[in-house]
Structure 1
Amino acid sequence: MSKGIVSVLRFTSLRLRLVVVFALVALTAAVSASGIAYWLNREAVLKRTQDGALNGFRQEMQNRAATLPPRPTQDELRRTAEQMASGTAGYSVLLVGERDAGKPIVGASNPDEFTLADVPSSLRTAVRTKRAVTDANMFPYHLFWQRTQRGSTPYLVGGTKIDGGGPTGYMFKSLAAEKADLNSLSWSLGIATGLAVIGSVLLAQVAATTVLRPVHRLGEAARQLGEGKLDTRLRVSGTDELADLSRTFNSAAASLQKRVADMSAREEASRRFVADMSHELRTPLTALTAVTEVLEDEQDSLDPMIAPAVALVVSETRRLNDLVENLMEVTRFDAGTARLVLDDVDIADQITACIDARAWLDAVDLDAERGIVSRLDPRRLDVILANLIGNALKHGGSPVRVSVRTELSERVAGDVGTDEEPETDSGDDTWEDAPEDSPEDSRAGEDLVIAVRDHGPGIPEEVLPHVFDRFYKASASRPRSDGSGLGLSIAMENALIHGGSITASNSTDADGRVDGAVFVLRLPRDASGIARELRTRGSRGGVEES
């Protein structure tokens, strides 16, 4: 399959197309020129030969055949035919006379070579036909000729009749020598055509190299530009179209580099502003939180007119505190400083602790076996679970069901059932320095899958692609809500830093009706190998082992 793809790519390459086009143009031109040259030479050779033979035959008919008596004998016809054929013209002669009316006699110079049967009937009819003498036609009989073939040898047959009742003469000349000359000419033209095609292919290779070298450099520069090397530039030489294209590329690359630099600077300034603002807000928020805690403790003893306002202050302060914490977490992800603190975690215990800490035990059903241990960051896993379960409780409907299972990772599952030996990656530190029979071996190549399902109205189809977007809220008419629009986004970032993912979809009942939303968290059971991945991506974050 791969060889076929490579051959197709080579066949459709620009170099091959240039060579084929040059070869076709050269072949067409050479064949046309050779065909025209062959046709012209053929007509010239045949015309020269037949004109010489026919003129000589006409002269012999006038000088010898015209001197015969009106009723010649067969011997006289034969001797005259031999005399006419004895010249340098190289043709045979046949004379036809009449001994009596309606009794023709034939005299041939060489009966073994040329007989009356070799003369086409159409030529004999034309020669014997008498025409009226006019100002435009001074003779009743004319000289006619025709090319014929005996076997593989071409011949010229000509004939005429002596005016005034003389004999009718026919000549028969072989054109074998002319055919041999024309065959030699055709071979010469064929060789010339082949040399022209070969020369055009070589010329096409040179032209393709000259044209494609700048194109290759342009493609390589575009690839480097796509890889993020924005300082890539082309060397410009000449004043042709390719030089103009190189200048345009350099101009576009410089403009792109400037825009990316400006955007990076603005993005960095924006992140710095959010981070600084979040840090600056933490100090007054700490004081506000302390005050709200005191007010909340004294809320029962406050004036009923003031209690609602105090409750609102407490609620909004907590909401603001959560928003600031979320913003700080987002800035850490954007800056690449988020870190994993790995530990062996019993997933069932971790989910139970998350639910218990938030007083959700009565609203959540847990389907998880004890003893499923994964090497993850427990704090970040808690953040993911809290956001997914809290979102299900807030926007879905009870009961919320959390189920846990393990599966082969997609990479390992793709190797199952193949005939080839799986390749080992000596640089993968997911299992680096692990003992041969260590517990990590049982987790290698496995994924932890946690599904959170509610029984609410589900997620609208137009909202599904945006549920993990920052600050996205399904209802634009309710911009103020309990959430900040960052929870699911932070959950996704925490999953990604583990090398995992989160997907959202709707579940349906037997009748095809939507009966809730399902969020599926997929994480590697051992996230140790993420360290090398983070370093490869150039992240400033990392992994800490505990």
Structure 2
Amino acid sequence: MTEPHDKHRGWTAAKLVIPAGLRFTSLRLRLVVVFALVALTAAVSASGIAYWLNREAVLTRTQDSALSDFQQEMQNRAAVLPEHPTQGELQHAANLMADSSQHFSVLLIGTDENGREVVGNSDLDAFTVADVPRSLRDAVTEKQPVTENNKHAYHLYWQRTTQDDTPYLVGGAKVDGGPTGYMLKSLEPEAKDLNSLAWSLGIATALALIGSALLAQAAATTVLKPVHRLGVAARRLGEGKLDTRLRVSGTDELAELSRTFNKTAENLEKKVADMTSRDESSRRFVADMSHELRTPLTAITAVTEVLEEELDAETGSVDPMIEPAVRLVVSETRRLNDLVENLMEVTRFDAGTARLVVDTVDIADQITACIDARAWLDAVELDAERGNLVRLDPRRLDVILANLIGNALKHGGSPVRVSVTTTEPHEGAELVIAVRDHGPGIPEDVLPHVFDRFYKASASRPRSEGSGLGLSIALENAHVHGGEITAANSPDGGAVFTLRLPVDAAPLPGSGDGEGDDDAPGAATDAKDSQEGGVAK
């Protein structure tokens, strides 16, 4: 019994192609897609298995019934025919065999007394030998030896075929010493039933897919609402609203996550409050200490000035043996005084009390005054056009320039070039001041730290004249103006500090155009004072 591959129509799962550039960034979308794919896979698998099992059951039942009837008719009708039947006898037997409950066509083939082949057909020419596959005919007419296990020389064979898109069942058997018979049964009713089943399963699969998508949407909404609330709370916490808490309900994993978030936020709030309190206490201590030190420092400074005048006097009233010690006391007193002034300035920046006193100035005149006050005219080259008016705080600009130029002279060497440009109004109208020296430049590992407080590039010089606050104070003064300072190395050698300020520096919120800080260090410092705090490059 042979059965070739037959074509059957049903539901096939199309391959889902997702563009390579598409990325699912939404958790809700990912949940819906995963649910849908799982449901689709399950539904297609179940439908395919159900279709295959039903198909085999229907075809096997129809096939077995038709072949059983055909075999019975061959025994009842064809076996009783004479060894050499006439064409009429074969035709009559074929008609009787076809008149069964299975409604199949019958073809009987025999030989008459003259040895000629005669054919009896129940459907005239509708079913001929050409409709029977060659392999089936060879199997039916092949005589097998009769043995203990094989009682019959000929057997019943069948095969499913398709003609004009219509499925058929073809069977054949031969009577020993009699005619050969073939039957042809249409399987079109069964195919229609199977197609209806396939459509039903397809509709069920589509409904399952839609249902899974709706279920995924509902599940995503249930799961993602707490996640969304957690995201909003985390965002608020990141914005500094440390009193943010989540409402906890239930005992599932999301509820436990919410409780953990609340506990973390509570601990963070306590730690931040504690750190803020300690920071405020530290700032208060520095400010109070600086104020308290000013009184004795004022007296000490007056004494050191007298001592310095005695050193410079022609009378030579100071013992030469103690002259180095006196000069060291004068130098260190001046250094301590500058350090206290810088600490007070830093404290004002940290407390947010630094104020701008805005005035309209000629930037070229302002830079010239800064250089002239510190006797740097011979060491600094100025490239600035006069008549370039800007609105800023002259005192704070003087502090910035004194630190940048003094730092360049101290660590880069002369000549120091100061160039001034102004960007176009449509670019934001910025004042750009570049201070370049001709030194060895700043090491790459030092560049990110040049504006850090108390940072010194050389650990071997911890007691250099600078305090490590100058560039930090310069940067803070730039920030008060709404500007910025950057440090880099020039391709032609040397370091370049670039100051960018708006040409019209409006006072920051909380600062006024009133008088400057009473305790602020003045701009008119001498050359040595202006270099205090410079960072070694």
Question: Could you state the TM-score of these two structures normalised by the residue count of structure 2?
Answer: 0.89
Is 1:521 matched up with 2:499? yes
| Counterpart residue identity of residue 301, structure 2 | T
**Percent of aligned positions that are identical:** 76
Residue 193 (structure 2) aligns with: 181
- Alpha-carbon distance between aligned partners in 2 of 1:203 and 1:544, rounded to the nearest angstrom: 66
CA displacement at 1:307 relative to structure 2: 2.4
- Alpha-carbon distance between aligned partners in 2 of 1:304 and 1:90, rounded to the nearest angstrom: 142
Residue 122 (structure 2) aligns with: 109
- Alpha-carbon distance between aligned partners in 1 of 2:512 and 2:32, rounded to the nearest angstrom: 54
Residue 305 (structure 2) aligns with: 293
Residue 331 (structure 2) aligns with: 315
Deviation sequence 1:37-60 (CA, Å, 0-9, x none): 111111111111111111111111
CA displacement at 1:18 relative to structure 2: 0.9
Correspondence 1:78-477 to 2 at 5 A? 78-100=91-113, 102-163=115-176, 165-299=177-311, 300=313, 301-408=317-424, 412-413=426-427, 445-477=428-460
- Distance change (3 Å), C-alpha of 1:499 and 1:8: farther
- Alpha-carbon distance between aligned partners in 1 of 2:88 and 2:418, rounded to the nearest angstrom: 128
- Alpha-carbon distance between aligned partners in 1 of 2:515 and 2:359, rounded to the nearest angstrom: 7
- Alpha-carbon distance between aligned partners in 1 of 2:232 and 2:47, rounded to the nearest angstrom: 44
- Alpha-carbon distance between aligned partners in 2 of 1:159 and 1:78, rounded to the nearest angstrom: 17
CA displacement at 1:78 relative to structure 2: 0.2
| Contact 2:110–2:117 under 8 Å retained in 1 | yes
- Alpha-carbon distance between aligned partners in 2 of 1:101 and 1:380, rounded to the nearest angstrom: 133
SS of 2:148 mapped into structure 1: coil
CA displacement at 1:278 relative to structure 2: 0.2
CA displacement at 1:169 relative to structure 2: 1.0
SS of 1:88 mapped into structure 2: coil
| Contact 2:69–2:100 under 8 Å retained in 1 | no
- Alpha-carbon distance between aligned partners in 1 of 2:287 and 2:499, rounded to the nearest angstrom: 28
CA displacement at 1:101 relative to structure 2: 6.7
Q: Extract structure 1 runs of 4+ deviating beyond 6 A.
A: 7-10
SS of 2:123 mapped into structure 1: coil
Is 1:69 matched up with 2:52? no
- Alpha-carbon distance between aligned partners in 2 of 1:114 and 1:396, rounded to the nearest angstrom: 110
- Alpha-carbon distance between aligned partners in 2 of 1:227 and 1:344, rounded to the nearest angstrom: 38
- Alpha-carbon distance between aligned partners in 2 of 1:367 and 1:153, rounded to the nearest angstrom: 98
| Counterpart residue identity of residue 244, structure 2 | T
SS of 1:527 mapped into structure 2: coil
Question: Could you state the TM-score of these two structures normalised by the residue count of structure 1?
Answer: 0.87
SS of 2:272 mapped into structure 1: helix
- Distance change (3 Å), C-alpha of 1:183 and 1:208: same
| Contact 2:161–2:167 under 8 Å retained in 1 | yes
- Alpha-carbon distance between aligned partners in 2 of 1:508 and 1:127, rounded to the nearest angstrom: 98
CA displacement at 1:544 relative to structure 2: 4.4
CA displacement at 1:102 relative to structure 2: 4.5
| Contact 1:231–1:257 under 8 Å retained in 2 | yes
Q: Give the number of equivalent residue pairs.
A: 493
Correspondence 1:17-56 to 2 at 5 A? 17-56=30-69
SS of 1:341 mapped into structure 2: coil
| Contact 2:409–2:416 under 8 Å retained in 1 | yes
CA displacement at 1:506 relative to structure 2: 2.1
Residue 6 (structure 2) aligns with: none
CA displacement at 1:151 relative to structure 2: 0.4
CA displacement at 1:28 relative to structure 2: 0.8
Deviation sequence 1:155-175 (CA, Å, 0-9, x none): 111111113x01111111111
- Alpha-carbon distance between aligned partners in 2 of 1:370 and 1:9, rounded to the nearest angstrom: 58
| Counterpart residue identity of residue 318, structure 1 | R
| Counterpart residue identity of residue 333, structure 2 | T
- Distance change (3 Å), C-alpha of 1:406 and 1:169: same
Deviation sequence 1:386-445 (CA, Å, 0-9, x none): 111111121121222222111137xx43xxxxxxxxxxxxxxxxxxxxxxxxxxxxxxx3
| Counterpart residue identity of residue 402, structure 2 | A
| Counterpart residue identity of residue 166, structure 2 | T
CA displacement at 1:308 relative to structure 2: 2.1
Segments of 5+ residues of structure 1 without an aligned counterpart are 1-6, 414-444
| Contact 1:343–1:545 under 8 Å retained in 2 | no
CA displacement at 1:10 relative to structure 2: 7.7
CA displacement at 1:461 relative to structure 2: 2.1
- Alpha-carbon distance between aligned partners in 2 of 1:286 and 1:447, rounded to the nearest angstrom: 40
| Contact 1:94–1:171 under 8 Å retained in 2 | yes
- Distance change (3 Å), C-alpha of 1:257 and 1:102: farther
| Contact 1:342–1:545 under 8 Å retained in 2 | no
- Alpha-carbon distance between aligned partners in 2 of 1:193 and 1:394, rounded to the nearest angstrom: 82
| Contact 1:338–1:542 under 8 Å retained in 2 | no
CA displacement at 1:489 relative to structure 2: 0.5
- Alpha-carbon distance between aligned partners in 2 of 1:352 and 1:262, rounded to the nearest angstrom: 48
- Alpha-carbon distance between aligned partners in 1 of 2:115 and 2:287, rounded to the nearest angstrom: 130
Residue 523 (structure 2) aligns with: none
SS of 2:271 mapped into structure 1: helix
- Distance change (3 Å), C-alpha of 1:544 and 1:95: farther
CA displacement at 1:74 relative to structure 2: 0.3
Is 1:485 matched up with 2:472? no
- Alpha-carbon distance between aligned partners in 1 of 2:173 and 2:189, rounded to the nearest angstrom: 25
Is 1:497 matched up with 2:475? no
| Counterpart residue identity of residue 523, structure 1 | L
- Distance change (3 Å), C-alpha of 1:52 and 1:268: same
| Contact 2:79–2:175 under 8 Å retained in 1 | yes
SS of 2:112 mapped into structure 1: strand
- Alpha-carbon distance between aligned partners in 2 of 1:28 and 1:488, rounded to the nearest angstrom: 67
| Contact 2:356–2:393 under 8 Å retained in 1 | yes
CA displacement at 1:324 relative to structure 2: 0.4
CA displacement at 1:542 relative to structure 2: 4.6
- Alpha-carbon distance between aligned partners in 1 of 2:228 and 2:407, rounded to the nearest angstrom: 53
CA displacement at 1:328 relative to structure 2: 0.2
- Alpha-carbon distance between aligned partners in 2 of 1:468 and 1:101, rounded to the nearest angstrom: 123
- Alpha-carbon distance between aligned partners in 1 of 2:214 and 2:248, rounded to the nearest angstrom: 27
| Counterpart residue identity of residue 163, structure 2 | R
- Alpha-carbon distance between aligned partners in 2 of 1:364 and 1:310, rounded to the nearest angstrom: 32
- Distance change (3 Å), C-alpha of 1:311 and 1:45: same
Segments of 5+ residues of structure 2 without an aligned counterpart are 1-19, 517-537
